[in-house]
Chains A and B, each alone.
Chain A
Amino acid sequence: DAGVIQSPRHEVTEMGQEVTLRCKPISGHDYLFWYRQTMMRGLELLIYFNNNVPIDDSGMPEDRFSAKMPNASFSTLKIQPSEPRDSAVYFCASSSNRGRGYNEQFFGPGTRLTVL
């Protein structure tokens, strides 16, 4: 398996622009998580899905952030409009609720977002 795939790996945009981050979880995993990592706040859970349904979005900072999971193999995190304080590394992770390895999360390589 290729692991969790994220795209793009790097994104530079200007304030006010829409940004869309993409994630493909590991095949067969039924949980998907979006995290944000900054020096100031560390690793923060933004939202997670189970079987494509959002379960907990309490970590989403504000209405400018939205996440979708239209099917089991794809998720997006959108920021509209983007602001400089959104600059961070965004990680996607997936896990499975089956077998002895359940709830171990596998992380993607991250998307480094810079908003100018």
Chain B
Amino acid sequence: AQSVTQPDIHITVSEGASLELRCNYSYGATPYLFWYVQSPGQGLQLLLKYFSGDTLVQGIKGFEAEFKRSQSSFNLRKPSVHWSDAAEYFCAVGPYNQGGKLIFGQGTELSVKP
């Protein structure tokens, strides 16, 4: 079955600390992977995506993610968190080389302590 698991529902980090949000997926075909961010009261915004090539991808706002095929993971990282990063983060997987629906994880809510 196709699924995306974000094991952490809620994470709190201190401002300036490093961050890693976990994402594991189950997908039968070559995956196309995404991280989206949703600020309070807003729609989802794409942070970064991966479909081939270098397994470490850079995104907006200083985020990066690493694709590990052997672990079926696509974890999101940031070396130093800012208070404005407080938001909900969604991992998603979709079919490579075609359109169609994405499968979203349940989301991880990030709180940032001053």
Centre residue among A48, A56, A105, A109 by max chain B CB count within 10 A = A105
Residues of A within 8 A of B42 (CB): 109-110
Complex-state Cα separation, A93 to B46, whole angstroms:
12
Of B17-25, B64-72, B74-82, B97-105, the one with at least 4 CB within 8 A of chain A: B97-105
A69 to chain B, nearest CB (A): 15
Which of B42, B43, B102 has the largest number of chain A CB atoms within 10 A?
A: B43
B63 interface residue, CB < 8 Å from A? no
Does B99 lie within 8 Å of A103, measured CB to CB?
A: yes
Which residues of chain A are within 8 angstroms of B34 by Cβ–Cβ distance? 104
Task: State the majority secondary structure of interface residues on A.
Answer: strand
**Interchain CB contact (< 8 A) of A104 among B49, B90, B104, B107:** B49
A104 to B51, CA, bound (A): 11
Q: Specify the chain A residue showing the minimal Cβ separation from B36.
A: A107
Contact A107/B45 with A42-B106, A42-B107, A43-B107 known, Cβ cut-off 8 Å: yes
Q: A17 at the A/B interface (Cβ < 8 Å)?
A: no
**Which residues of A (53-76) have their CB < 8 Å from a CB of B?**
55-56
Residues of B close to A43: CB separation below 8 A: 90, 104, 107
When A42-B106, A42-B107, A56-B101 are in contact, do A103 and B44 touch as well, CB less than 8 Å? Answer: no
Interface residues in chain A, defined as those with a beta carbon under 8 Å from any beta carbon in chain B: 4, 30-31, 33, 42-43, 45, 48, 50, 55-56, 91, 93, 95-97, 102-110
4 smallest CB-CB distances across A and B, nearest first, come from A97-B99, A107-B43, A107-B44, A31-B99
Which residues of chain B have a CB within 8 Å of any CB of chain A?
Answer: 32, 34, 36, 42-46, 49, 90, 94-95, 97-102, 104, 106-107
9 A-B contacts (beta carbon < 8 Å): A4-B43, A50-B99, A56-B101, A91-B44, A103-B95, A103-B98, A105-B44, A107-B43, A107-B45
Given A42-B107, A109-B42: 14 more A-B contacts, CB < 8 Å? A30-B99, A33-B101, A43-B90, A43-B107, A45-B104, A55-B100, A91-B44, A95-B99, A97-B98, A97-B99, A103-B95, A103-B100, A107-B43, A107-B45
